[in-house]
Amino acid sequence: MILRTHYSGDIHPELDGQEVTLAGWAHEIRDLGGICFLVLRDREGLAQVTMVAKRTEKPLLESVRQLSRESVIRVVGSVKAEPKAPRGYEIIPISLEVLGRADSPLPLDPTGKVDAELDTRLDSRFMDIRRPGSLAVFRIESAVLQSLRQTFYDHGFLEVITPKIVATATEGGTALFPISYFEREAFLNQSPQLYKQMLMSAGMDRVFEIGPIFRAEEHDTRRHLNEAISVDMEMSFADHNDVMDVLERAMVEAYRFVQENCKRDLDVLHLDLVVPKTPFRKVTYSEALDLAKEAGKPTMEWGDDIDTETERALGSIIGEHYFLTDWPSSIKPYYSQPYEDRPDVSKAFDLMHPSMELASGAQRVHDPEQLVSRIKDQGLDPDGFEFYLKAFRYGMPPHAGWGLGLGRVVTTMLGLENIRDAVIFPRDRRRLVP
């Protein structure tokens, strides 16, 4: 038995008279007495199935009238060109089979006509993603991933997978999820950072990874999660400027790819996507403090981390993607390379959207003695990093890299209010299911 010959999006009026088999969900049923409309929904959109009472076999018509919304169905029928129907065609059914009957009432309205609170939607995420708007977000996210991977491949990168269960912290132990690992304590990894750098010593030269990271901060905001998908890269024989160029290219190409390949999803979201202008402006940390001061925001001391209020003020002033560069060495991780002539300033950067930080990166310390010194300066014990430091003692090339938050990219690209709308099954301090 053929369960499907076409998606709804594959059908067009030029197929008039051709028999097709569609499979999906009963999105809506409108019974007007003499005529009955069944709207079938699949991943690619909607198809109108039209039954005129006088011309449709009674058992078929009655099965549709008794059908519960969101039941899974298979429809065999012929295509009829109809300018008034969605996409210019309708399906005249020959047979209908119920493959999975849906209970009633539904936990939420998948047509999107009745709004639901975010928590309600997340509690029944399987149903929420049936809503065209929610599905459009994740179709676009898939396109972003495809574009990012292609950019890496075009630049000669190898895709790698690093451990998510680790013995030590990447950046100290303040934001770790401890787990029981047989007879020992272990942790969920905060970042693939240490392993990326070790692969530079291994001679892999350019690597990227797209995978989960875990941070145990007790945030409760619209832009933080405790499990996130990070897009990470590391590049040998490169400095911070080289990897900023790759990041800029990756972002612009992702926007362009979505703009060109996701027109229907952008229409569903009522978005006219604009590709960011290049080159991205570069604003030093010191310049950022001056800009914030001119905007009348609370004065920050040099060496303070930039708080949310200042970050938003800068976003309002600059109004587009920009790099925030030359951070104080004291507030960046131990593996960030200080300037040779200004050791209090590091070759570190953040990629900023006007509304939030998207990525963080730097040229890395590749000298083992300097790295040990930096680890000690930040109050950490080098003995806990021996597996990592070992890779630096046998020939480590200069290298740089960054980590980019996928959820934040999609959130800012689509203008979503909450990062949880850009994550299929989000994890925060209160949500562990579904």
Instruction: Please give the Cα distance from 409 to 427 (Å, whole number).
Output: 17
User: Which H or E run includes 72?
Assistant: strand 72-81
pLDDT band at 341; cut points 50, 70, 90: very high
User: Which is nearest to 170 in space by CA: 184, 182, 188, 144?
Assistant: 188
Q: If pLDDT is split at 50, 70 and 90, which confidence band does 174 have?
A: low
Query: pLDDT tens digits for 138-149?
Result: 999 999 999 999
What is residue 277's predicted lDDT score, i.e. its pLDDT? 96
pLDDT grade for 112, boundaries at 50, 70 and 90: confident
% of residues, the chain, pLDDT over 90: 87
Q: Where are the chain's structural domains?
A: 8-100, 128-280+320-422
| Better pLDDT: 389 or 217 | 389
Give yes or no on whether 8-100 and 128-280+320-422 have one common fold.
Answer: no
What's the pLDDT score for residue 232?
A: 98
131 backbone dihedrals φ, ψ, rounded to 5°: -70, 135
- What one-letter code names the amino acid at 148? L
* Exposure on the CB side of residue 305, measured as CA atoms within 13 A: 8
Q: Which fold has domain 128-280+320-422?
A: BirA Bifunctional Protein; domain 2 (3.30.930)
Instruction: Report the phi/psi class of residue 397: left, alpha or beta, with left for phi > 0 and alpha for psi in -120 to 50.
Output: beta
pLDDT for residue 17? 95
* DSSP secondary structure, 332-349, as one string: S-TTBPBPSS-TTBBSEE
pLDDT of 297 > 90? The answer is no
The CATH architecture of the domain made up of 8-100 is: Beta Barrel (2.40)
pTM of the model: 0.94
Residue 13's CB is within 10 A of a number of other CB atoms, namely: 15
Give me the mean pLDDT over the 323-343 stretch: 96
Determine the Cα–Cα distance for residues 50 and 30; give it in Å rounded to an integer.
Answer: 10
Structure tokens at 186: 């272990």
Residue-wise pLDDT for 358-403, tens only, equals 999 999 999 999 999 999 998 889 988 999 999 999 999 999 999 9
